[in-house]
């Protein structure tokens, strides 16, 4: 499985066999998650540039994130892989002059933020870029709720706010952002619904204070804001400029929101 995808990745200058081989085997089901993490922590060949910790981690997470963006059916496997890295307590290996402590999936958050910002900037430019952003949003929501990396569900709050509290988006951008928001609602909606505003205020003061075009209530999360989002989704569903595919995603999201409100699960 995934031979063509990994063959295409061979032309990317960041890909090395030390990461591509184990990840390919994992996604194809020929090795376990535990075995994959052991192999993925091996140093690179150093054939092009001397191996360092930062290069090793950048190559690893870039390949994982590429898979998350382009192979959404692998998300549950990738989440289990990150969980396995988190549990590799006291595993320290040398990479050139550096040592990596593999506990807690090192550098995941930094590389995630770089990828997030890049995908967000390019979303809506093409159908391919839009789908990558939507898939990455689904993956991020799964990781955030699994508590396996330094990734906060507040990013879902921002994604939903950007989509449903803005005005004047092009039809393609609205389609993209609504679908990305739906992923956060489907996979992390319960956590967002239970957001503690003290946490939001303490850790996200700048973003929390920003005004949006359509939300006129208090800053931060509230049940009123949640209800506003639900109403906005209903409006989007009725819009003639929104694609039928996006409308179907909206229906799934609103169904999930009603389930969350009444405490019913599962809703994905």
Instruction: State how far the Cα of 104 lies from the Cα of 87, in Å rounded to an integer.
Output: 7
Q: Name the pLDDT band for 201 (thresholds 50, 70, 90).
A: low
> Which of 150, 221, 153, 220 lies closest to 183, judged by CA?
153
- Residue 31 Cα distances to 27, 49, 64, angstroms: 9, 29, 16
pLDDT digits 0-9 by tens, 77-100: 999 999 998 877 556 666 767 777
pTM of the predicted structure, to 2 decimals: 0.92
Average pLDDT of the chain, as a whole number: 88
Judged against a pLDDT cut of 60, whether residue 24 lies above it is answered with yes
Structure tokens at 260: 């969350």
Residue with tokens 């819009």: 239
Per-residue H/E/C for 97-139? CEEEECCCCCCHHHHHHHHHHHHHHHCCCCHHHHHHHHHHHHH
- Residue 162 Cα distances to 22, 198, 215, angstroms: 37, 21, 11
Helix (H) or strand (E) holding 27: helix 17-28
Cα 65 from chain centroid (whole Å):
8
Q: Name the pLDDT band for 76 (thresholds 50, 70, 90).
A: very high
DSSP for residue 74? G
pLDDT digits 0-9 by tens, 131-177: 999 999 999 999 999 988 888 898 999 999 999 999 989 999 999 99
* Residue 216 φ/ψ, nearest 5 degrees: -110, 5
Q: What is the mean pLDDT of residues 181-185?
A: 98
Instruction: State how far the Cα of 151 lies from the Cα of 148, in Å rounded to an integer.
Output: 8
CB 106 within 8 A of CB 170: no
Judged against a pLDDT cut of 90, whether residue 206 lies above it is answered with no
Q: So what's the pLDDT on residue 103?
A: 76
Instruction: State how far the Cα of 51 lies from the Cα of 100, in Å rounded to an integer.
Output: 12
> Which of 139, 64, 66 lies closest to 108, judged by CA?
64
Judged against a pLDDT cut of 60, whether residue 46 lies above it is answered with no
Higher per-residue confidence, 49 vs 11: 11
DSSP for residue 98? E
- Residue 177 Cα distances to 67, 135, 143, 181, angstroms: 20, 12, 19, 6
**Whole-number percent of the chain with pLDDT over 70:** 88
Q: So what's the pLDDT on residue 50?
A: 63
């Amino acid at each position: 499985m995934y031979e063509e995808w990994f063959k295409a990745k061979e032309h990317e200058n960041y890909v090395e066999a030390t990461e591509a081989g184990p990840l390919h085997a994992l996604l194809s089901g020929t090795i376990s998650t535990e075995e994959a993490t052991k192999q993925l922590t091996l140093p690179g060949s150093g054939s092009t540039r001397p191996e360092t910790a930062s290069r090793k981690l950048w190559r690893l997470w870039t390949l994982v994130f590429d898979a998350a963006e382009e192979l959404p059916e692998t998300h549950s496997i990738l989440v289990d892989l990150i969980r396995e890295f988190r549990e590799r307590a006291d595993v320290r290996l040398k990479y050139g002059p550096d040592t990596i402590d593999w506990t807690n999936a090192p550098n995941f958050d930094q590389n995630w933020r770089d990828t997030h910002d890049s995908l967000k900037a390019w979303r809506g430019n093409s159908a391919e870029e839009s789908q990558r952003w939507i898939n990455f949003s689904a993956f991020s929501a799964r990781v955030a709720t699994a508590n396996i990396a330094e990734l906060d569900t507040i990013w879902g709050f921002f994604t939903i706010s950007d989509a449903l509290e803005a005005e004047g988006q092009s039809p393609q951008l609205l389609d993209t952002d609504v679908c990305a928001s739906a992923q956060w609602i489907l996979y992390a909606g319960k956590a967002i619904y239970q957001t503690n505003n003290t946490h939001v205020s303490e850790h996200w003061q700048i973003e929390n204070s920003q005004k949006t075009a359509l939300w006129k209530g208090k800053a931060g999360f509230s049940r009123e804001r949640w209800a506003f989002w639900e109403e906005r989704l209903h409006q989007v569903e009725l819009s003639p400029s929104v694609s039928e595919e996006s409308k179907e995603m909206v229906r799934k999201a609103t169904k999930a929101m009603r389930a969350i409100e009444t405490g019913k699960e599962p809703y994905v």
